[in-house]
Amino acid sequence: MTKGYVHVYTGDGKGKTTAAIGLSVRAIGAGKRVYFAQFVKGKYYSEISVLDKIPNITIKQYGLRCFIKKDPTQEDQQAAQKGLMDVVLILKEGLYDVVVMDEVFIALYYNLFDIKDVMNIIKHKPESVELILTGRKAPIELIEMADLVTGMVEIKHYYTRGVEARKGIEY
């Protein structure tokens, strides 16, 4: 049995979800099974259309709509907490080799659940499972618990010049 590690992809630069998807595709190519939980996100992003067609990956969204520019609702909190409970059950069942908690740090930032819950997931994950956590604003406590931390740094982005998000590139 190979040891699984905890990865953190964070920072203000573009590419955190993309990195998690790339690792997921690589794992599937090696015969592994992947559970990809997207917190906060509820829209049908382009990556979902292709991931849905790939065997050995399950992708679930635990967001309702985009609330990033306003306060989350109680329904947003309930959706995120459902996702957290699902991840705990998925890890206990042991059916997946890689578990991704995409945008989990944004869910924490908006207080959709407690950091202690995520810390417990890390502490009690099966030894062989690779756990990937993504999102801006990773709490220092989770960075310290991780085995691998990658910070995406925005150096330059066309968004600052007014370029809107483009289908197939940003979503």
The answer to whether 99 and 124 are in contact (CB under 8 A) is: no
Residue 12 placed within a domain: yes
- How far apart CA 5 and CA 128 sit, in angstroms, is 8
Q: What percent of the chain has pLDDT over 90?
A: 75
pLDDT of 170 over the 90 cut: no
Decide if 166 is inside a domain. Answer: no
State which amino acid sits at residue 6: V
51 within a domain of the structure (yes/no) = yes
User: Per-residue pLDDT for 63 more than 80?
Assistant: yes
170 within some domain: no
Residue 124 is encoded by which pair of tokens? 């009690």
CA angle 45, 46, 52 (to 5 degrees): 95
What does the radius of gyration of the chain's CA atoms come to, in whole angstroms?
15
CATH code for the domain of 29 = 3.40.50.300
Residue 74 structural domain: 6-161
Q: At what angle do helices 74-93 and 115-124 cross, to 10 degrees?
A: 10
Identify whether 105 is part of a domain: yes
Give CA separation, 159 vs 15, 70, 87, 97, in Å: 14, 20, 33, 36
**In the chain, % of residues over pLDDT 70:** 98
Tally the domains of the chain. Answer: 1
Q: Please, which pLDDT band fits residue 69 given cuts at 50, 70 and 90?
A: low
Q: Nearest-CA neighbor of 133 among 43, 46, 4, 44?
A: 4
Band of the pLDDT at 45, cuts 50, 70, 90?
confident
Residue 153 burial class via C-beta count within 10 angstroms: exposed 0-12, middle 13-18, buried 19 and up: exposed
For residue 169, the model assigns a pLDDT of 82
Letter for the amino acid at 44? Y
Is 156 part of a structural domain of the chain? yes
Residue 153, in any domain of the structure: yes
- Which pLDDT score is estimated for 171? 79
Establish if 167 belongs to a structural domain. no
Higher pLDDT among residues 143 and 158, named by residue: 143
